[in-house]
């Protein structure tokens, strides 16, 4: 089709409360996820088949479920499940690896996730095998032998630990599963009575190990994103990050990972690396698994997590948010998973819906984009997906509803707009959007979230080599049979084009 572009129509004059500005991009989004670590993957695998399928759909389906796009697996260090259950004697001896093809149900779980299109698999070690640590035990506080200040009679195990982690990735490769992210620590600032390994406040042990792990991955011909350090909370991880950056670790690392138990992600870290909340949950004893959206703001309520997500992606520039676990059966004493059961049916927590308002709509590879304008008590977060659709999540933490008037600079196909609401009364249900000439308006209920999506293109649009879509009557198409306005979806501007006589 031969066209000539005559004019570029500028921004509309009408004032809107909030303008979405796709040309100003912030962080890239990797996605949202959860784990089935510590026996939960094998329980999922053993669940009755109807329930299992329902839970998988609820977690991974991008149309009807939460559309989670990241899974986080545990690299087991226990003698029963480790790939290197016994010490070869000394650090320089040849290791004996074993692989059961199951990995505590995580091979099955990863395969299921992949079948729904999940392509980000984060494998994280809570500890090195016990014989590589100063404590001699994977479940007691100790450091990796051979790191600064930590000598062991059996030698320096840094290289052996790197080899072990790389071998774990290779075993998954043999199963047809690509681990994309690898971590070697979990909560190194905490001493529980299960798998754990410490680092000092200045992250020195991590700084000693990271270049060795990096080189070992390179030498194995693997491509992997390396992470550090899955600290208990954002403040500690921020401090670790400062030491890592000062020591030149950014060139080896790909993602900074943090949990939120001792501090939420409320500010940007001082690094050029992307940052994730790689584990999150309710460990406060504030109550068990509930379906409550909002009651009094406890950590087991959905609205609490709606606020954490909104602040994390806007104030801390997060690229990913990973809840602790996805599916557990009859474990309602805990709120640290998203889907439980009621009889033989799945039961969804309020927190599940808080995630779904983000994870179903903001897809991997999206960028957060700029907005201007504010609404009382509402956090506005806007994103553009790789298919050019624009998603706006409005999180109203206040006690009265707010009406948002949204426009996308310069113009957008407003008639493509759809919106979903979650509050006390509705869970991810379609809500009304009024379409004006230059903006749309939508009401965000008190203590509620509305997700607005402007779809780019569609079945009735062609996409040609010049990157212009030819609409068939949508917002940008009203100048008659020969001269018509059409959208440039790359730049969100309305173009006037001349079409051939024959249409
Ligand atoms: C590293 O992570 C990015 C973002 O998720 C992904 O696009 C890339 O494929 C990953 N790299 C490897 C080598 O897996
Ligand atoms: C939501 O419901 C709870 C009771 O479950 C109530 O206390 C709260 O005021 C309600 N909030 C709104 C905004 O309606
Ligand atoms: C959960 O426990 C109840 C009571 O013991 C039982 O009836 C139900 O079948 C269990 N649910 C599942 C999915 O196993």
* 362-374 tens-digit pLDDT: 999 999 999 999 9
Task: Examine the domain organization and report whether 107 and 247 are in the same domain.
Answer: yes
The answer to whether residue 493 sits within a structural domain is: yes
Could you tell me the CATH number of the domain that includes residue 142?
3.20.20.80
Cα–Cα nearest to 452, from 350, 318, 362: 362
| 293 CA to centre of ligand 2 in angstroms | 8
Which ligand has the shortest distance to the CA of 347? 3
Instruction: Tell me what pLDDT residue 7 has.
Output: 26
Of the residues 121, 179, 180, which should be mutated to test ligand 1's pocket, given the most ligand atoms within 8 Å of the CB? 180
Structure tokens given for 391: 């998603």
**Span 33-86, pLDDT tens digits:** 999 999 999 999 999 999 999 999 999 999 999 999 999 999 999 999 999 999
The protein residue with its alpha carbon nearest to ligand 2, atom 2, reads 295
Of the residues 177, 225, 256, which should be mutated to test ligand 1's pocket, given the most ligand atoms within 8 Å of the CB? 225
DSSP code for 486? E
CA distance 348 to 232: 26
The answer to whether residue 10 sits within a structural domain is: yes
Looking at the structure of the chain, the number of domains it has is 2
Instruction: Tell me what pLDDT residue 86 has.
Output: 98
Cα–Cα nearest to 216, from 194, 239, 184, 188: 184
Cα–Cα nearest to 85, from 132, 153, 141, 151: 132
Structure tokens given for 177: 């599963």
The answer to whether residue 296 sits within a structural domain is: no
| 297 CA to centre of ligand 3 in angstroms | 29
The protein residue with its alpha carbon nearest to ligand 3, atom 9, reads 343
The answer to whether residue 450 sits within a structural domain is: yes
Atom of ligand 1 nearest to the CA of 180: 14
Residue 196 or residue 475, greater confidence: 196
CA distance 362 to 380: 14
Q: Rg of the Cα trace of the chain?
A: 25
Burial 227-254 (b: 16+ CB within 10 A, else e): bbbbbbbbebbbbbbebbbebebeebbb
Which ligand has the shortest distance to the CA of 329? 3
Task: Examine the domain organization and report whether 379 and 483 are in the same domain.
Answer: yes
How many residues does this entry show for the chain? 503
| 177 CA to centre of ligand 1 in angstroms | 14
CA distance 417 to 14: 18
Interval 417-436 mean pLDDT: 97
Sign for the CA dihedral angle at 270, 304, 25, 253 comes to positive
Bridge partners, 429 (sequence order): 421
Strand-strand pairing, 462-463 and 469-470: antiparallel
Cα–Cα nearest to 44, from 462, 338, 415: 338
Task: Examine the domain organization and report whether 381 and 237 are in the same domain.
Answer: no
Instruction: Tell me what pLDDT residue 1 has.
Output: 26
Instruction: Tell me what pLDDT residue 412 has.
Output: 64
Cα–Cα nearest to 179, from 188, 187, 170: 170
**Span 306-346, pLDDT tens digits:** 999 999 999 999 999 999 999 999 999 999 999 999 999 99
Ligand 2 neighbours by CB, cut-off 6 Å = 294-295, 424, 446-447
CA distance 242 to 473: 53
The answer to whether residue 272 sits within a structural domain is: yes
Task: Examine the domain organization and report whether 10 and 144 are in the same domain.
Answer: no
Could you tell me the CATH number of the domain that includes residue 438?
2.60.40.1180
* Contact in structure between 488 and 495 (CB atoms under 8 Å): yes
Atom of ligand 2 nearest to the CA of 448: 13
CA distance 356 to 3: 42
The answer to whether residue 64 sits within a structural domain is: no
Interval 411-423 mean pLDDT: 87
From the CB of 46, is ligand 3 less than 6 Å away? no
Which ligand has the shortest distance to the CA of 346? 3
Q: How many helices (H) and strands (E) does the chain have?
A: 8, 25
| 75 CA to centre of ligand 3 in angstroms | 30
From the CB of 330, is ligand 3 less than 6 Å away? yes
Structure tokens given for 377: 């008590």
Q: What percent of the chain has pLDDT over 70?
A: 87
Task: Examine the domain organization and report whether 115 and 19 are in the same domain.
Answer: no
The answer to whether residue 333 sits within a structural domain is: no
The answer to whether residue 344 sits within a structural domain is: no
CA distance 248 to 225: 17
Instruction: Tell me what pLDDT residue 158 has.
Output: 98
Of the residues 291, 294, 443, which should be mutated to test ligand 2's pocket, given the most ligand atoms within 8 Å of the CB? 294
Determine the Cα angle at 305 with ends 301 and 311, to 5°: 150
Task: Examine the domain organization and report whether 243 and 137 are in the same domain.
Answer: yes
CB neighbours of 278 closer than 8 A, spacing ≥ 6?
Answer: 72, 122, 124, 183, 227, 230, 257, 258, 259, 320, 322
Task: Examine the domain organization and report whether 163 and 216 are in the same domain.
Answer: yes
Atom of ligand 1 nearest to the CA of 120: 5
Task: Examine the domain organization and report whether 109 and 254 are in the same domain.
Answer: yes
What's the whole-number average pLDDT of the chain?
A: 89
Instruction: Tell me what pLDDT residue 490 has.
Output: 37
Q: Which domain holds residue 490?
A: 2-26+367-498
From the CB of 329, is ligand 3 less than 6 Å away? yes
* Contact in structure between 407 and 16 (CB atoms under 8 Å): yes
Atom of ligand 3 nearest to the CA of 48: 13
CB neighbours of 68 closer than 8 A, spacing ≥ 6?
Answer: 31, 32, 33, 34, 59, 60, 113, 118, 326, 355, 359
**Span 99-149, pLDDT tens digits:** 999 999 999 999 999 999 999 999 999 999 999 999 999 999 999 999 999
Instruction: Tell me what pLDDT residue 156 has.
Output: 98
**409 pLDDT tier (thresholds 50, 70, 90):** confident
Of the residues 341, 342, 346, which should be mutated to test ligand 3's pocket, given the most ligand atoms within 8 Å of the CB? 341
* Contact in structure between 308 and 300 (CB atoms under 8 Å): no
Instruction: Tell me what pLDDT residue 367 has.
Output: 98
- Residue 280, pLDDT above cutoff 70: yes
Task: Examine the domain organization and report whether 236 and 384 are in the same domain.
Answer: no
- Residue 165, pLDDT above cutoff 90: yes
Q: Among 6-10, 60-64, 154-158, 228-232, which is the least confidently predicted range?
A: 6-10
Of the residues 287, 290, 295, 304, which should be mutated to test ligand 2's pocket, given the most ligand atoms within 8 Å of the CB? 295
Task: Examine the domain organization and report whether 7 and 106 are in the same domain.
Answer: no
Which ligand has the shortest distance to the CA of 50? 3
Instruction: Tell me what pLDDT residue 457 has.
Output: 56
Q: In sequence order, what E strands does 305-464 have?
A: 318-327, 337-342, 345-348, 367-372, 378-384, 390-396, 402-408, 417-422, 429-430, 434-435, 440-444, 448-454, 462-463
| 295 CA to centre of ligand 2 in angstroms | 5
Instruction: Tell me what pLDDT residue 11 has.
Output: 34
Q: Which of 277, 304, 332 is the last residue of a domain?
A: 277
Instruction: Tell me what pLDDT residue 286 has.
Output: 80
Cα-based torsion angle of the residue sequence 347, 349, 355, 356 in order, rounded to the nearest 10 degrees: 40
Q: Which of 277, 296, 328 is the last residue of a domain?
A: 277
Instruction: Tell me what pLDDT residue 109 has.
Output: 98
CA distance 419 to 465: 31
Task: Examine the domain organization and report whether 97 and 150 are in the same domain.
Answer: yes
Task: Examine the domain organization and report whether 135 and 257 are in the same domain.
Answer: yes
CB neighbours of 168 closer than 8 A, spacing ≥ 6?
Answer: 75, 83, 123, 179
CA distance 74 to 82: 10
Atom of ligand 2 nearest to the CA of 294: 1
Helix 49-60, helix 106-115: angle, nearest 10 = 60
DSSP 227-267: EEEEESSHHHHHHHHHHHHHTTGGGT-SEEEEE-TT----S
| 320 CA to centre of ligand 2 in angstroms | 29
Q: Which of 230, 255, 277 is the last residue of a domain?
A: 277
């Amino acid at each position: 089709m031969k066209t000539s572009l005559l004019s570029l129509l500028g921004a509309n004059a009408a004032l809107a409360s909030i303008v979405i500005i796709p040309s100003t991009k912030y962080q890239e989004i990797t996605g949202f996820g959860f784990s089935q670590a510590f026996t939960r993957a094998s329980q999922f695998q053993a669940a009755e088949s109807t329930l299992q399928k329902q839970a998988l759909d609820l977690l991974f389906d991008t149309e009807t479920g939460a559309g989670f796009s990241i899974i986080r697996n545990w690299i087991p260090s226990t003698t029963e499940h480790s790939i290197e259950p016994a010490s070869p004697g000394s650090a320089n001896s040849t290791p004996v690896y074993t692989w059961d093809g199951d990995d505590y149900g995580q091979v099955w779980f990863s395969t299921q996730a992949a079948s729904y299109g999940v392509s980000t698999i984060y494998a994280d070690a809570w500890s090195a095998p016990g014989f590589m640590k100063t404590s001699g035990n994977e479940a007691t506080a100790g450091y990796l032998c051979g790191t600064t200040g930590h000598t062991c009679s059996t030698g320096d195990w840094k290289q052996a630990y790197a080899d072990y982690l790389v071998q774990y990735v290779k075993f998954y490769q043999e199963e047809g599963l690509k681990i994309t992210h690898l971590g070697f620590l979990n909560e190194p600032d905490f001493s529980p009575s299960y798998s754990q390994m410490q680092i000092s406040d200045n992250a020195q042990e991590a700084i000693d190990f990271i270049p060795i792990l990096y080189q070992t991955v390179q030498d194995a011909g693997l491509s992997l994103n390396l992470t550090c350090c899955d600290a208990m909370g954002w403040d500690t991880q921020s401090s670790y990050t400062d030491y890592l950056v000062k020591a030149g670790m950014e060139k080896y690392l790909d993602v900074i990972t943090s949990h939120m138990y001792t501090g939420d992600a409320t500010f940007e870290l001082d690094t050029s690396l992307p940052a994730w909340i790689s584990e999150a949950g309710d460990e406060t004893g504030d109550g068990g698994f509930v379906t409550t959206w909002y009651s009094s703001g406890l950590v087991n309520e959905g609205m609490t997590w709606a606020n954490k997500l909104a602040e994390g992606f806007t104030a801390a520039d997060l690229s990913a948010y990973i809840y602790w676990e996805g599916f557990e059966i009859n474990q309602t004493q805990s709120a640290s998973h998203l889907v439980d059961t009621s009889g033989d049916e799945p039961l969804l927590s309020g927190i599940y819906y808080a995630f779904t308002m983000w994870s179903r709509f903001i897809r991997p590879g999206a960028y957060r984009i700029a907005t201007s304008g504010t609404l009382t008590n509402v956090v506005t977060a806007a994103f553009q997906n790789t298919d050019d659709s624009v998603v706006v999540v409005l999180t109203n933490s206040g006690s009265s509803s707010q009406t948002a008037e949204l426009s996308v600079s310069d113009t957008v196909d407003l008639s493509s707009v759809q919106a979903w609401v979650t509050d006390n009364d509705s869970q991810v249900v379609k809500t009304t959007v009024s379409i004006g000439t230059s903006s749309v308006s939508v009401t965000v209920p008190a203590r509620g979230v509305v997700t607005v999506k402007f779809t780019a293109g569609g079945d009735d649009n062609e996409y040609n080599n010049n990157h212009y879509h030819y609409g068939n009557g949508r917002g940008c198409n009203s100048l008659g049979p020969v001269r018509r306005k059409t959208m440039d979806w790359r730049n969100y501007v309305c173009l006037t084009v001349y079409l051939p006589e024959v249409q």
